[in-house]
Amino acid sequence: MDHLESINAFCKVVETGGFSSAANKLDTSVARVSKLVTELESRLGARLLHRTTRSVSTTEIGEHYYHSIQPVVREIADVESNLSHLTEQVSGKLKVALPLDYGRIVVAPLMAEFCKLYPHIKLELAFNDAHTDLVNGGFDLAIRISKLKDSSLIARPISQMKLIAAASPSYLAQRGAIEHPEALRQHDCICYTVPTTVNNWHFYLGKQEFDVTVQAKIGVNNGDAAAQLATKSCGVILQPDFIVQPYLDSGELVPVLSNYSSRSFDVYAAYPARQFVPFKVQKLIEFLRAGLRRDY
């Protein structure tokens, strides 16, 4: 049997957790997947998987082999993907990691159009605010709203977002207008709990910077939930424009400290550093750059 086919079958068993699920992914039979893995073990002279009637897991050697062979498997997939450029066809599976709110509110609507443009793409979107391990997770691309800490990734800026302070009209009617950043110290604030500096809010007026430590009446790890709480007069928020703007448009929230600006952040498309960037990834980045273009 083809050696590469055996390697691919083994990798799918590891990634899906079983022979049946791997067979479904490969559109073949369980018996064939089992035969391919057995042939690979025979070729290597080592057992790669522990098999029981209820579960499949990698042996120590199997775990080492899986992680060692992944860069080779990805390079082969990348070369084959780039060949599609010669036929002008974008095809194959695209697995993309997205921040929860930004992905849901901003990116997901665009992906419907991307799928229409490239009907041969099979798209898998994973929404998670945690920084996903792209390589071990098998991701082709991730959208990140921060500078990258992982030097093994390539990052291309595709857009920007800025923070907006806002509160409900009823909250401001009860507690009074906020005319200076320092006044926030006396107000209830709804803080995003993921960064370590959740209570430090920054504002700018020309060249002046105001660094304010606010009182977190409520802490949440989801930006849209913070905005919804703000509409119920629970306090002031400092959240990304893509979250706040719909509530400003509806009148449920109004801007606070509108004469001041707050921080802006670049939005990046990040992908594993490798010799060949798949054509499908290149096309998705181009599409997102065009669709997410922002002028501040």
pLDDT more than 70, % of the chain: 90
74 DSSP 8-state letter: H
Q: Are 201 and 238 in contact (CB under 8 A)?
A: yes
Q: Which of 84-98, 133-147, 176-190, 281-295 has the lowest mean pLDDT?
A: 84-98
Name the CATH superfamily housing domain 88-160+266-291.
Periplasmic binding protein-like II (3.40.190.10)
Domain with CATH 3.40.190.10 in the chain: 88-160+266-291, 161-264
Per-residue tokens: 85: 């450029």
Q: Are 48 and 10 in contact (CB under 8 A)?
A: yes
Domain with CATH 1.10.10.10 in the chain: 3-84
Per-residue tokens: 91: 């095809």
Which CATH number applies to 3-84? 1.10.10.10
Q: How far apart are CA 175 and CA 187, in angstroms?
A: 8
Helix, strand, coil percentages for the chain (3-state, nearest 5): 45, 25, 30
Q: What is the pLDDT of residues 254-291, one digit of tens each?
A: 999 999 999 888 999 988 876 567 788 888 999 999 98
pLDDT more than 90, % of the chain: 43
Q: What is the pLDDT of residues 240-253, one digit of tens each?
A: 999 999 999 999 99
Which CATH number applies to 161-264? 3.40.190.10
Q: Is 115 left (phi over 0), alpha (psi -120 to 50) or beta?
A: alpha
Average pLDDT, rounded, for the chain: 86
Q: How far apart are CA 237 and CA 253, in angstroms?
A: 10
Per-residue tokens: 220: 């949440």
Which uninterrupted H or E stretch holds 141? strand 141-144
Q: What is the pLDDT of residues 50-91, one digit of tens each?
A: 888 778 889 999 899 988 888 777 777 767 666 655 555 677
